[in-house]
Structure 1
Amino acid sequence: MKLYLDPGHGGADPGAQGNGLNEKEIVLDIASRIRTILTNNYENVEVNMSRTSDMTKSLSQRTNEANAWGADFYLSIHCNAFNGSAQGYEDYIHSSLSDSSTTAGYRNIMHEEIIDVNQLRNRGKKKANFHVLRETSMAALLTENGFIDNNHDADLLRDASWRTRVAQGHVNGLARAFNLQRKQEESDTLFKVIAGSFKSRDNAEKREGYLRSNDIESFIASVTISGERWYRVQAGAFTNRENAKNRLSRVKDAGIEDAFIIAEDA
């Protein structure tokens, strides 16, 4: 599978701005993580990025490059901005496409997998006449990963571990949509179900107790993120991702809506 991966904006165009963050930097980081996860873990995947540094590149240059290369899928990574109050995740296919189109089918899978891990409000699946969706000769999707001018979303966007989870969500969607096969040597990956991260150990213990009261085994592990100690409540670790998703469903059914899956080397 040939993926053209397009982190939006760059160079003279910073994209959306807010809370001390620039869209061009956030989306380049997410896209770079997508490329790394894909190429390290999956067979027969080629990734061509529109930019790998802070450079200016026109929309026409991006789509012409993807078309000339013969990409199978065009994935454009963005963040949103509005008035500080809007928040959440949404994605777009071209407005001319039907809900039964191949592109819509890919998008449905991608949307499900990304929402599964990104801890953002689900703003839904949308359509638009964006250049990168209109001028591409292959299936194309544009994802809007949170609102950079919203305090809640910005706190996530500046967290490197969150950006890894979002990248993993995109990869999970691509793997399902295109039936990608994992490299054999990566079979030791663990899929961990995280049922909450807290700065207060007392709060973590309350969450652990709640899970146990619902017959869901869990434990607390401390992690350091950006120099800060967090107490992470883990509700299982699995070598099979489907088993992890089944456990995640149990956790969410118990009322823990912000639970998610992370993939780590065993």
Structure 2
Amino acid sequence: MVKIYVDPGHGGSDPGATANGLQEKNVTLAIGASIRDILQLEYENAEVRMSRTGDTFPSLSQRTNDANAWGADFFLSIHVNAGGGTGYEDYIYPSLSDRSETAVARASIHEEVMKLIDMRDRGMKEANFHVLRETAMPAVLTENGFIDNSADAAKMKNNGWIQNVARGHVNGLERALGLRKKANSTFLIRVKAQSLYYYDAPDWDARAGVVSQGEVFTVVETLTVDGATMYKLKSGNYITANPQYVEIV
């Protein structure tokens, strides 16, 4: 198994950058949780651990110590930028060779993210960040747009864009770490819903049945709203050769 540590930046009492009605901590958690979900549901040899799964604030040392103690093979820290710019960039620790495992992984992530997010490419950079310096494994930090740029922020408010960011990261990780896709099949999650649109917690024991409002629906995607995981629901069965969800029956 390839052990991947996903670190959504900030959280809890530390909102990170704030602008345009957004807080960095919520955007990073939405991206990080989506990365985790794709890795767990689509890959047979990926094991994922997150520094946080809710609105909490582990210190920087707690994040790196946890990853090191777990024996992670790769550390991925998710952030969004601020300061008047626009676009995507990513970082590794300074002085690493361009041929290093870390640099090669960063290049794969960078290329795959840029294919999907429709943002200016700000390049691949270096920085002496704690999470890059104190990790015992290859580590990459990504800055996914500028929260104080109205065009970038508008994208951050779009769950489709969040999913594309996550997918780009995962595609890069697949290339860099040799991740293997699960065999193609029909993958669904069904939940009992209070309404046609969102329900704040799935009933994992729900059974497939008559598809009508108030009964059984299919999870189409997840997103984070004000720190809470929400589930977008739609009636009907979905069959895909590139599954994102697993059937619970």
Fold shared by both chains (TM-score > 0.5): yes
2:174 match: 175
User: Which residue number corresponds to residue 227 of structure 1?
Assistant: none
1:15 aligned partner = 16
* 8 Å Cα contact 2:6/2:76 also seen in 1: yes
Quote the residue 1:161 is aligned against.
160
Alpha-carbon offset, residue 178 of structure 1: 1.0
Counterpart check, 1:133 vs 2:132: yes
Which digits, 9 at most, give the CA deviation of each residue in 1:169-217, with x for residues without a partner?
01101111111111103589xxxxxxxxxxxxxxxxxxxxxxxxxxxxx
1:99 aligns with 2:101: no
SS at match of 2:148: coil
Report matched runs for 1:116-155 at 5 Å.
116-155=115-154
Q: Which amino acid aligns with 2:66?
A: E
Most deviating of 93-102 and 34-43: 93-102
Superposed displacement of residue 110, structure 1: 0.8
**Residues 41 and 244 in structure 2, CA contact (< 8 A), matched pair in contact too:** no
**SS of alignment partner, residue 119 of structure 1:** coil
- TM (norm. structure 1) is 0.69
Checking the alignment, whether the CA contact within 8 Å between 1:98 and 1:104 is kept in structure 2 is: yes
- In 1, Cα distance between equivalents of 2:151 and 2:123: 18
Residues 191-210 of structure 1: pairs in structure 2 closer than 5 A: none
Distance change (3 Å), C-alpha of 1:42 and 1:186: farther
Give the residue type in structure 1 aligned to 2:106.
R
User: Is the contact between residue 89 and residue 143 of structure 2 (CA under 8 Å) also seen in structure 1?
Assistant: yes
Q: How does 1:166-245 map to 2 (within 5 A)?
A: 166-186=165-185
Change (3 A) 1:134 1:186: farther
Residues 184, 241 of structure 2: 8 Å contact kept = no
Deviation, 1:239, is 6.1
- Which of the two has greater helix per residue? 1
Aligned position for 1:209: none
The alignment of Structure 1 onto Structure 2 pairs a total of residues equal to 192
Q: Which residue in 2 is equivalent to 1:234?
A: none
Contact kept in structure 2, 1:91 and 1:111, CA below 8 Å:
yes
Residue ranges of structure 1 left out of the alignment (5+ in a row): 189-237, 241-262
In the alignment, the residues of structure 2 paired with residue 121 and residue 184 of structure 1 have an alpha-carbon distance, to the nearest angstrom, of 35
Question: 4+ runs of 1 displaced by more than 2 Å?
Answer: 185-188
User: Which secondary structure does the structure 2 equivalent of 1:185 belong to?
Assistant: coil
Give the direction of change, closer, same or farther, for the CA distance of 1:264–1:44 in structure 2 (3 Å limit): closer
1:172 aligned counterpart, secondary structure: helix
Task: Point out where structure 2 has 5 or more consecutive residues left out of the alignment.
Answer: 188-239
Pairwise CA distance, 1:97: 1.1
For the aligned residue pairs, the C-alpha RMSD in angstroms reads 1.8
Q: What letter corresponds to residue 16 of structure 1 in structure 2?
A: A
Could you say what secondary structure the match of 2:169 adopts?
helix
Aligned to 1:89: 88
Q: In the alignment, is the contact (CA less than 8 A) between 2:185 and 2:241 conserved in 1? A: no
What TM-score do you get using the length of structure 2 for normalisation?
A: 0.74
**Alpha carbons 1:41, 1:186 under 8 Å: kept:** no
